[in-house]
Structures are given as C-alpha cells and as structure tokens.
Structure 1
C-alpha cells in the first residue's frame, strides 16, 4: 500500500519543481545590470558591453553596463556580492577582484569571492605578452632566460602595477627559472610598454592590446606569451614555458561573469546555459580576439574549480615573492 507520507513527499517535490520552473521561466522580469569595477573603455568594460546586446536578445530584457570603478575593482564586486537573490545584478570581472586581491588586501576586503559570488561563464583568458625593445638581442623564450641569467640583477621588467597578473607573471618566471629581473610598476600598461621601446626598462609583461601598436610600429618585439599555447593573434611567438626551467609555466589574466551566490539555483542554471552559448558565437570570438582575449570554454563547475586553482597559484606567488601593497 502506498503510504500517505509518499503522497506528501511526492507533492512537495512536484511543488518545488514547479516553483523552480516558474522562477526560470519568468527570469528575468526587469532590466538587468552588469557591474564593472573599471572605467569605461578598459578591457573588462569592453567585454561587458560586448555581451550586453546578445544577453538582451536571448533573455528579452534590457541589459545595461554600470561602471563602479575604484578600490582595485572591489567596489563593484562587493555590490554584486551583496545584491540579493533575484539574479538581475551581475558582475563582469577580471582575475584581480576574484582571485588576487584577497591575498593582498586580506582582512580589508568586505566580501568573500568564493562564497558570495557564483561563477557563471568564462569569457576568455588574457595571456601576457613579453616584449623587449626592437634593438634587443632577445628573440625567443630561451634567449630571454639566457640573457637574464647572464645579466643577473641588472635587468628590469615593467607592468601596469603592483600585484596584478603582469607583475605576478614576472615573479613566477624569476621563481621557476632562477632569474632576478627587477619589477618596475607603472600606472597603466601604455607607459609600461612605451618605456621598453626607449630602453628605460629591459622588458615588459603586457596585455596584447597595450603592446600591439608598438609591435606593429616595429619599436618593440614580442618574444614570449605566458599561456601554455601560442596565442592565435601571435602564432609565431612561442610560450614562455618553452624556455629551459619553465616547463609547465602559465600565468594568465582572465575575464568571467559572476552572479550573487544567493541567487536561486534555477536562475544560476539559466545564466550558466545562456552565457556559454553567447561566448561561442563567431562574431563574439572575433571581437574578443581583437582585444587580445583568447576564447576558452568551461562549464560553471569547471570555472569554479579553475577560479579556486588560480587563487591558490596567485597566493603562492604573492607569498614567495613577499609582495605587499607597499612594494
């Protein structure tokens, strides 16, 4: 005989399923916002605006991009982390505010990325490009390491600031290869690569978007990339991991979309279904490539594991190199 308890349990399951289906079918029901922790015109901002129209087409509601720059992008990240559970406020983020800053700012951070932000979709990876002056004898990753070892303590590399992926890429090279190239932080990527061209610093770990104009002008040369694979935009430039002592080397910036972790499972599932489909569009991939972003597909579960792994990697580099915000 089927018990009364069975009917109660079955009814509850049916009701829960109906509520989940209803939440997903009515989501979104008003304007959505994508918060960006950087000024308009930067890489993260451009990516957010790139996906806003396709999201509107698929989800049927307006999607606006809102810049809340400041505090190393943590103002925007905190706002989304505390935004509630309706899934209408999302975050387009780089690796810094998700996986780096907590190891630099520590108790000063007012949100917990791993518990308050749910990974939705990876937009793409942003390898650093290692550039030298055109007059430099360095042309390959092996040349770079040999030159650094022959001139230990005499060389320098620039980046766009302290504690960012470009800075950490150089520190990881020093750690793995036993080199001693000194970091020189700049306020932004443009002056960091410009000073390579004029010889003020030996090399730079830069985004492709910042370095490409000077590469095309013949003033600097790309000699390595920090991804394990060659970048489609620079097919003749080998990975830094090809150099002796750097097997397995990889250091990336990356862009991804996040939602408040408190959002209901059906809403998170809907976003995790829609966003990867948008990122696979040929026109989106082409526009990402122009910005030096390499498309890479991941499920939301894979992205969660990737973010955790990247955070652990960044933590190790920061600790090993004794990087603080005063350095």
Structure 2
C-alpha cells in the first residue's frame, strides 16, 4: 500500500461513523393513508402530521393510496425501506378485518408492521329511526324479537368494521336484527334517512348531527365511558352488555425492522401532540377518544391490536364468514 493511499484511508475512518449516526429525519416523511381523502383516517393523519412536523424538523406528507379495502396502501408501506420515511395510517379495515378475511394475504400486519402509536379511536353507536318505539338497547332487543321480520340494521359491508360488532351484539342479546350490508359506512346513511333501513351501526361522528337534529336516535355508545359529545347517552356496558366495546381506531405503523430510535422519536412527537389542548379539542370535536399513555408505546398499542384481532376472529366465526 502506497503512503498516499494509506493517508487517504486514514482520513476516511472518522467520517464513516459520523455518516452512520446522521440524525433522523434528513428529508420529508410520508404518512400513507390507504383510503380516500376526507375519511376518519385521513382527517386524523393530517391533524397529527401538521402538529408533529415542527417537532421532527421535516415536513410530513399525507398521501392517499386507496383500493382493495386498504390493502394497496398498506402493502406499499410493508414493501418500503424500514428507514422511517414511509409510515402507515392504519385502521381496522386494513390491519384487522381485511387480513383475516383474505384467502391469499399479501402481507401480515403482525409480522410485517410495527405498531408505533395509537392516534385516536372513534366509538361506534347504534342509531335507529325516530319512528321506532324504542329508546334503549334493551327496548330494541325486545322490540326486534316481537317483529316477525326483525329490525334491519345497516353496516359498512360484510366483514367490515361495523358488521363484526353487530354480530357480537346479536350473539350477546339474541336480538332479531337483520344485517343489511352496504359499500362503505357513508353509503348506509341515505337509505337510513329515507327509512329503508331501521337503524345503522356506525362510527359516532357520522351520525352525531342526525341524532342532534332528531333525524335519528342513538341508543348506546360502545365505549368504556360516556362520550363528551353525548353525555346523556349511556354506554353498551351501562345497559347490561359487560365489556362490550367497539371502535374504529386510527394508528401509526412502520415497516418491520425500523430502528427503535426512529420509533422513539416519532412516539415522543406524538405524545407531545396529544398533550396539546388544541389537539385534544380537535379530537373531541369529531367524537374521537385520545390515546392513553400506554397506547402511545409499541407494547401498549400492540396489546390493543391483539384484543381487536381476538374480537374480530370471534365475530367472524359467529357470522360464518370465510376468507375470500
């Protein structure tokens, strides 16, 4: 080795560790929302992206990649480099129900993704048309059993986030409820308002205004405690359904293998955002519950997901659904 070459190599040695330890992030970060713009996942993603951009020092770009019930956008994140620059805004459709009902899964949400932090969860409700002579869930069950054709309840579709809680409710109460599947939660509302279905099981924010202006009557909220937007409406648990919880969560996920220091940086930024009264007010304004401190960590969020998977598997078995 020549003296000149030796000097050159020696001069490069201190540089390599410095490059390896370059602080993250060095460029914009993408949050992939696997659904169309304007939905609960999209709104929540943009709320947090705007808030944590300043903390991370790089812009966060929210990108909508809809299709195949969230599978297209989710798979794009699964296949991305685990470098912290591409993350997923996940929800039950893409993380829980979808994979369980796909015969040929293109990804495994448990092994291919790391749960970074819960961003919020929106409780589900049962709302019925005002003409039905019922005001509680118990009265709905009794009334339905007296109807030869039952009471029709619309949901977002077979195997969807709203359908599975309905199956669990029927199993727990013996109610004579007839499932009417639609293509998405929003598609149920025109038929509900037209009186073509008796009720809907859906995320609370979607029907909050209908309840307030008398075009529908919410009978119960499937949350651990009463919601601040509906303080007079009891939970399912208060009405005798022990442990009955149903919510659409929105959370942040990263590709498996993403370095822990990157995850920790994002978690700290999200925790700071959740502590901001303005962010809390925005979450509450559309009926979402803020994450707990535990749910802002990977183990805490992972525990929530395991519970959701167990409930979904039970509901799928009750409904007799098969992967397609």
State the TM-score, normalizing by the size of structure 2: 0.88
User: How far is 1:54 from its partner?
Assistant: 1.5
CA contact (8 A) 1:141 1:238 kept: no
Instruction: Show the counterpart of 2:321.
Output: 323
| Higher mean displacement: 289-298 or 82-91 | 289-298
Root mean square deviation of aligned Cα: 2.1
Instruction: Show the counterpart of 2:298.
Output: 300
User: How far is 1:152 from its partner?
Assistant: 6.1
| In 2: Cα distance, 1:262 partner to 1:46 partner | 27
5 Å matches for 1:7-22? none
Instruction: Show the counterpart of 1:235.
Output: 231
2:281 to 268, 286, 289: 286
Instruction: Show the counterpart of 1:120.
Output: 116
| In 2: Cα distance, 1:276 partner to 1:65 partner | 19
| In 2: Cα distance, 1:110 partner to 1:227 partner | 32
Residues 36-82 of structure 1: CA deviation (Å, up to 9, x unaligned): 00111111111111111222100001110111000101111111112
Instruction: Show the counterpart of 1:13.
Output: none
State the TM-score, normalizing by the size of structure 1: 0.87
| In 2: Cα distance, 1:120 partner to 1:152 partner | 48
The reply on whether 1:216 has 2:241 as its aligned counterpart is no
Residues 260-318 of structure 1: CA deviation (Å, up to 9, x unaligned): 12111211222222222212321112112222211121232111111112111101111
5 Å matches for 1:195-214? 195-214=191-210
Instruction: Show the counterpart of 1:180.
Output: 176
CA contact (8 A) 2:90 2:253 kept: yes
2:272 to 271, 277, 295: 277
| In 1: Cα distance, 2:98 partner to 2:72 partner | 12
2:101 to 77, 101, 104: 104
Instruction: Show the counterpart of 1:309.
Output: 307
| In 2: Cα distance, 1:306 partner to 1:235 partner | 25
Instruction: Show the counterpart of 2:7.
Output: none
CA contact (8 A) 2:142 2:175 kept: no
Residues 132-162 of structure 1: CA deviation (Å, up to 9, x unaligned): 1112211112222222233365211001222
2:258 to 260, 263, 274: 263
**Unaligned segments of structure 1, at least 5 residues:** 1-18
User: How far is 1:126 from its partner?
Assistant: 1.2
**Unaligned segments of structure 2, at least 5 residues:** 1-16
CA contact (8 A) 2:34 2:74 kept: yes
Residues 118-137 of structure 1: CA deviation (Å, up to 9, x unaligned): 11111111111210111221
2:136 to 137, 140, 164: 140
Count residues with an aligned counterpart: 305
| In 2: Cα distance, 1:255 partner to 1:109 partner | 21
